[in-house]
């Protein structure tokens, strides 16, 4: 592992990670779950995704997370969406920004994917005690 990229990636992951609730999954939890199957997954996530991609100039953490949420809704990947909605809350996205991002996708992805995503949003908001007025 290249120390520069790895440390830069870890630092960014820390910005995105809620640390006071062990019931909320994190990016490093994913690494731990699959370490026995894919030990190199850690370097892909930490070095490449965060050390290279998330560290690029041009977008704020909030903009990156909105783009990620939109992509995951479109793909219908609800487990990963849950992680990134949590990330969004942690880095300061408002509930209206998160819901607005998801609802904005109706004409592009259709009602079924958006409704499934809103169910995930509702679950995460309940876990994190987030209200739409926040």
State residue 134's pLDDT score. Answer: 65
Q: Residue 40: is its pLDDT beyond 70?
A: yes
CA-to-CA dists, residue 97 to 11, 20, 48, 115, 132, angstroms? 25, 23, 27, 16, 10
Condensed to tens digits (0 to 9), the pLDDT of residues 54-89 reads 999 999 999 999 999 999 999 999 999 999 999 999
Give the pLDDT confidence score for residue 25 in this predicted structure. Answer: 76
Are the beta carbons of 20 and 9 closer than 8 angstroms?
no
- Rounded CA gap, 118 and 134, in Å? 17
Entry pTM: 0.89
- The phi-psi region of residue 59 (left if phi > 0; otherwise alpha if psi is between -120 and 50; otherwise beta) is beta
Selection from 33, 131, 129, 29 nearest residue 83 by Cα: 29
Instruction: Give yes or no for residue 21 having a pLDDT over 80.
Output: no
Inter-CA distances, 123 with 12, 44, 53, 63, 126, Å: 25, 28, 28, 22, 5
């Amino acid at each position: 592992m290249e120390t520069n990229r790895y440390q830069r990636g870890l630092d960014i992951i820390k910005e995105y990670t809620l640390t006071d609730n062990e019931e909320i999954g994190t990016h490093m939890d994913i690494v731990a779950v699959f370490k026995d199957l894919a030990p190199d997954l850690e370097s892909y996530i930490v070095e490449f995704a965060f050390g290279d991609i998330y560290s690029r100039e041009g977008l704020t953490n909030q903009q990156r997370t909105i783009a990620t949420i939109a992509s995951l809704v479109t793909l219908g990947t609800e487990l990963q969406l849950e992680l990134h909605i949590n990330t969004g809350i942690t880095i300061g996205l408002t509930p209206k920004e998160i819901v607005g991002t998801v609802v904005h996708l109706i004409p592009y992805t259709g009602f079924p994917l958006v409704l499934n995503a809103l169910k995930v949003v509702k679950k995460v908001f309940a876990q994190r005690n987030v209200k739409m007025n926040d």
